[in-house]
Amino acid sequence: MTVRRTTLGGRTYEFPSLADLLAKATPARSGDVLAGCAAESAAQRVAAQAVLADLPLATFLEEQVVGYEEDDVTRLVLGTHDPVAFAPVAGLTVGEFRDELLTWAAEGDEASISALARGLTPEMVAATSKLMRNADLVAVGRRARVVTGLRSTLGLPGRLASRLQPNHPTDDPVGVTASIVDGLLQGSGDAVIGINPATDSPARTVALLELVDAVLRRYEIPTQSCVLAHVTTTLRAMEQGAPVDLVFQSVAGTQAANRGFGVTLDLLAEARAGALELGRGTVGRNVTYFETGQGSALSADAHRGIDGVPVDQQTLECRAYAVARHFEPLLVNTVVGFIGPEYLYDGKQVVRAGLEDHFCGKLLGLPMGVDVCYTNHAEVDADDTDTLTLLLGAAGCSFVIAVPGSDDVMLHYQSLSFSDVLTARRVLGLRPAPEFEAWLARMDLLDADGRVRTLTADAPAAKALLAAAQA
């Protein structure tokens, strides 16, 4: 391995591996401390960032953080790299690439930024993000355009979609339906109506899929459904003829971590092919949905790279995006703050991680969303999630996740409420997905300014939806 060094303030700092350099350059977070790879001081972090800024981008094609022979994610990254897409920035260092991105962002040059996606590796974008302030992440993220579709079109400029998450601790059909109606009446659900099932039972999965599909068909709602069961359960549901719109799976940035999730790249390919055969799309053919989150590899003790060197959690998160990208997803979201303070300690770290993940995912060509959430034992509160939500809206985030009253009663963590989505749209001048917006208008749910309104006597279509739910 190449030892890289620099002198700062009369002291020489050495970084014996690429993984160590990336870790030491990372803004502070508790997960890297837990993994034993964090910078020991602010001075060491600045030194690592200085060395990283001078590193040629092409280094990441020649030197890996997780070994090629033992890791299929590394093989996927290198095997699918597009040298033509990489060519415009192939001669740049990480620092020069950062500057070029900021120039393109300032000029509104979305085409140049978006065209890079297949030419960039996860380690390249992770390295670049480590040199950026929060405002830089917002400025570039909003100019990376990624548009996907199945029955609604996501990622268009001036839009912020939402996943309606009607979770229930016992998967009770009445409780799930009530949450769905609550969200629809508040303009949520254009990204997906996605349920985290309380169990991974195939029968329960099929029942929930049929429940949501019945609502979508009865009211001709242009969105998609998803029950976030394990991919093997979804495959069984498809074999039984269930109305599967999206194949879901949590994925991570190393082969070992994905093995812990019980998945392989071949299994994901099989499930995607099965969903495509169902042909349930109307405006597109993106049929996969992936969730990720900083710290997932570390929590599975699957975070080590070459020679057992720990890899920082943000770089591993970016490698998960390479897995997702390969299967042309409709949706990808990072679950920021869900694992707990061991990985992201406080509001400052959660905000930073959310902006990093969105920037890196979009730069790699993903339709990136964020679950803005936190566990109740973390040093995070609703003010922090308000801040992150508005910053993500400004950054062009594809979608966020919302639950009734901000409180996920099944997963036991705090997320966004339906009204939080409305606030972000109103404050930032954003709108729902176009097909869903047209449906809201047909249901008498929009006022003259296109904003979701309170139910009134002159909104018979919406009242019919409410009455059906009450029945």
> Which amino acid belongs to residue 442?
R
To the question of whether residue 432 is assigned a binding role by annotation, the answer is no
Give first-to-last CA distance, the chain, whole Å. 67
To the question of whether residue 407 is assigned a binding role by annotation, the answer is no
Question: What number of other Cβ atoms are within 10 A of residue 262's Cβ?
Answer: 12
401 three-class SS: strand
To the question of whether residue 44 is assigned a binding role by annotation, the answer is no
Backbone φ/ψ region at 295: left (φ over 0), alpha (ψ -120 to 50), beta = left
> Which amino acid belongs to residue 336?
V
To the question of whether residue 249 is assigned a binding role by annotation, the answer is yes
Q: How far is CA 327 from CA 235, 259, 264, 265, 401, in A?
A: 16, 18, 12, 9, 22
To the question of whether residue 299 is assigned a binding role by annotation, the answer is yes
To the question of whether residue 333 is assigned a binding role by annotation, the answer is no
To the question of whether residue 133 is assigned a binding role by annotation, the answer is no
To the question of whether residue 371 is assigned a binding role by annotation, the answer is yes
Per-residue burial over 348-382, b = 16 or more CB atoms within 10 Å of its CB, e = otherwise: bbbbbbbbbbbbbbbbbbbbbbbbbbbbeebebee
440 three-class SS: helix
Instruction: Tell how strand 161-164 and strand 225-227 pair up.
Output: unpaired
CA distance 12 to 9: 8
25 three-class SS: coil
Instruction: Tell how strand 4-8 and strand 11-15 pair up.
Output: antiparallel
Annotated binding-site residue numbers for substrate? 163-165, 196, 291, 371
Residues within the annotated binding site?
Answer: 163-165, 196-197, 249, 291, 299, 371, 410
Q: Which residues are annotated as a binding site for adenosylcob(III)alamin?
A: 197, 249, 299, 410
